[in-house]
Every structure is written in C-alpha cells, then in structure tokens.
C-alpha cells in the first residue's frame, strides 16, 4: 500500500525521529511511504542513509518497500497515484494543497484511511480514546472520518514502534543476567548518557556521590542538554573534582540506539528516546517535555505507575523534572535496571505499533 505521512517539525529530535522510524518500519514490511515534512534537515545526521538533498527530497529503498521524503509544500498532480492511508502525526493538519488536490480527483472506489497518530502517554484516557472516530465537519474533506490512534504501553493501546531485530536478537539480558553482569563489572567505569532539556537538578546530579567519582563518565548528547551541562559545570564549586564527560556529536538513530545499549544509565527526553531507552533495557531517567499548565506531572506519574518504578527511581524522576524539591536520591542501578527490564518484557508480549496500524487499515480500508 501507499502511505502518506505528514510531519510538522516542532522538535526535530522527536517529531521527525518518530515519523522517520515509522516510515522505515513500514517500508521494511513492504509498504511504500511518502513522508511530507516542513523541515527535514535533521535527517542529514539522524538518517544519513536517506541522502537528503538540498531541496528536502530523499528516497530510501528496501527489498519490497520504500520511503520518499517530500517537502511539505511539494505539489501533486491529479494523475498522481492515490494513497491508501493518510497519517497526521501528532495532530498536524494536512497541507491545504494536498486536500484540494484530493478533492479535485475523480471519485475513488477506495477512500483513504485517515489516521490521527497521537502523542505517547500512559494516562487512562489513551485506552478510552484509542481507535475512536472523528467526523470531519468542514473543509474540502467534509463528511470523511479520521480515526484516533494512540501509541501506548498496554494491550488496549496502539503499542510502540519496535523493529524486528529487537524481537529476534539473542543479546538482550534477562533481569537475572543483568544482576550478574553488573556484579562482574563492579570495578569498571559506569557510563551515563545525557539527553535532556534544562533540568534544574542537573547541577545537583553532578555533585551526587553516585556520579561524582572517577569510575563514572557522562556521555553528553548535543543540543540543549549539552548547553545545560556546560552551565552546570560552570556552577560547580572550584574545590570539587570535575566530572568525567565526553561530548557526543549528532548521532544517527542507529548510533544513538547503540549508545543507549552500551550505557548503564540513560537520561532521555521527549517520546522517541524514551521508547528507545525502554528497548535498550537499561536504567533510565525520563525528562518529560514541560507544559505551562502542569499537565506533564500527571503524564509522568502515569508512566512511573505503569513502569512500577521503585521509590528511589520515582523520587529521582520527580526532582529531575522539577516537580519536587526533595534532594536527588542516590542511584540504585541494579533495582532501576531490573525495573526497566521487567517493563521491557511486558512490552515484548504486546503487538507493536506498525503491526497494529497494518491491521487497523485492513479493517477500515
């Protein structure tokens, strides 16, 4: 089938990252995808295999499928092939020129399945809203129906993006193997990856005894988190020992996934890197995107409830996200990693997002 996926870039790490992974996952299963993006420039480092050109076009071929990246305002003719599926990622609206072109086409026997792919959350409304219809009441597509599709962490949601190799790999540790591995490397340096916004507790974390030792090294991702890290470094007491760290240049998605698997503790932010940290199966701290109305607090607590986070991990999250003034607890790497491993095992028993999308489209098409 031919899929049209639409992405407006608000945060190029997350919005575009999710849409690119979705497109590639579909193409790997024999689907053809046109990915419409208003700013695809981050694909230059995020997905160098796409070979994005200066005009914002790219194409990646698979054995049976392909992904074509198109600029948001790229035109279509009336003779252009009609797609089977439209996906509005994160509630973006379809380009007006695209809808007008579709309106002018002769009536088709098959109306595209129109999906609003929503943000990821563990909150209870996700299960209630997943797969609900949303009639289009005005505009060129009046009378059509959109369908809400919610990614999520339970069997009553749309699931998470998951590649086949994650299911087939024999290298992932069980909880018991994790304990043995951590014991075996007790005297080796602990590695933490840092990808965040501007957490108020970052300076406190750098001073925490769990991190403030020669056996620990920070792997600092580029962007806002790196600037926040520099600011925290500048605020450290002059008589203290500076932390060991390494600045990391922009990584491709494949390289970033490898980084998460190689570290012992992963600080992640937003949606895409949270899911990748769960698949990595290592201890994680999530910096949720802060919202002015405080809605992120309920979203974070819902995730921690689903995760079955031990109290120390929950408290670290609350302080890290500025939702508590309680001091950061010392890290309990073994307990935190066991928690994530257990969550990963639960997720592996559920259908992934692309499998569920394919099934949904088959039902509605």
Residues 107-136 have a mean pLDDT of: 92
Could you count the other beta carbons within 10 Å of the beta carbon of residue 146?
Answer: 18
Q: Name every residue whose Cβ is closer than 8 Å to that of residue 233 and which is 6 or more positions away in sequence.
A: 206, 242, 243
Q: How far apart are CA 49 and CA 135, in angstroms?
A: 38
Instruction: Assign domain 166-348 to its CATH architecture.
Output: 3-Layer(aba) Sandwich (3.40)
What element of type H or E holds 58?
strand 58-61
- DSSP 3-state of 21: helix
| Distances, alpha carbon 307 to alpha carbons 36, 59, 64, 231, in Å | 34, 38, 37, 31
> Which tokens belong to 101?
């072109």
Which range, of 28-42, 169-183, 309-323, averages the lowest pLDDT?
169-183
91: region left, alpha or beta (phi > 0 left; psi from -120 to 50 alpha): left
Given a contact cutoff of 8 angstroms between Cβ atoms, the answer to whether 86 and 112 are in contact is yes
pLDDT at 181: 54
- Provide the annotated active-site residues: 15, 271
Report yes or no on whether pTM surpasses 0.85: yes
Q: Is 365's pLDDT higher than 90? A: no
Of residues 157, 171, 320, the one with CA closest to residue 257: 171
For the ranges 205-214, 230-239, 347-356, the one whose mean pLDDT is highest? 347-356
Q: Where are the domains positioned within the chain?
A: 2-159+350-364, 166-348
Which of 1-15, 26-40, 116-130, 181-195 shows the lowest per-residue confidence on average (mean pLDDT)?
181-195
Q: 115 near 357, Cβ under 8 Å? A: yes
pLDDT tens track for 237-280:
988 778 999 999 999 999 999 999 999 999 999 999 999 999 99
């Amino acid at each position: 089938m031919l899929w049209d996926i639409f992405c407006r870039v608000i945060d190029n790490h997350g919005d575009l990252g999710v849409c690119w992974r979705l497109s590639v996952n579909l193409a790997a299963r024999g689907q053809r995808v046109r990915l419409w993006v208003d700013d695809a420039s981050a694909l230059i480092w995020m997905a160098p295999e796409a070979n994005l050109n200066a005009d914002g076009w790219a194409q990646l071929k698979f054995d049976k499928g392909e992904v074509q990246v198109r600029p948001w305002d790229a035109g279509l003719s009336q003779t252009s092939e009609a797609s089977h599926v439209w996906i509005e990622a994160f509630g973006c609206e379809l380009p007006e020129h695209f809808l007008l072109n579709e309106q002018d086409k002769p009536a088709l026997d098959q109306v595209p399945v129109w999906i609003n792919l929503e943000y990821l959350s563990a909150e209870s409304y996700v299960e209630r809203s997943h797969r609900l219809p949303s009639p289009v009441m005005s505009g060129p597509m009046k009378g059509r129906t959109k369908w809400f599709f919610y990614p999520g962490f339970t069997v009553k949601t749309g699931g998470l993006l998951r590649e086949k190799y994650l299911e087939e790999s024999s290298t992932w540790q069980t909880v018991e193997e994790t304990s043995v591995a951590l014991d075996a490397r007790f005297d080796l340096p602990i590695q933490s990856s840092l990808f965040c916004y501007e957490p108020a507790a970052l300076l406190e974390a750098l001073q925490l005894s769990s991190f403030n030792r020669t056996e620990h090294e920070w792997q600092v991702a580029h962007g806002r988190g790196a600037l926040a890290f520099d600011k925290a470094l500048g605020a450290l007491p002059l008589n203290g020992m500076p932390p060991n760290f390494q600045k990391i240049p922009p990584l491709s998605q494949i390289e970033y996934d490898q980084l998460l698997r190689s570290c012992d503790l992963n600080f992640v932010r937003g949606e895409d890197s949270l899911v990748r940290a769960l698949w990595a199966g290592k201890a994680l701290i999530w910096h949720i995107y802060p919202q002015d109305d405080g809605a992120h607090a309920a979203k974070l607590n819902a995730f921690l409830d689903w995760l079955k986070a031990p109290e120390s991990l929950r408290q670290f999250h609350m302080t890290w996200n500025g939702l508590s003034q309680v001091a950061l607890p010392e890290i309990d790497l073994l307990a935190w990693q066991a928690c994530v491993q257990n969550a990963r095992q639960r997720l592996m028993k559920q259908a992934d997002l692309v499998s569920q999308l394919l099934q949904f489209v088959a039902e509605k098409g």
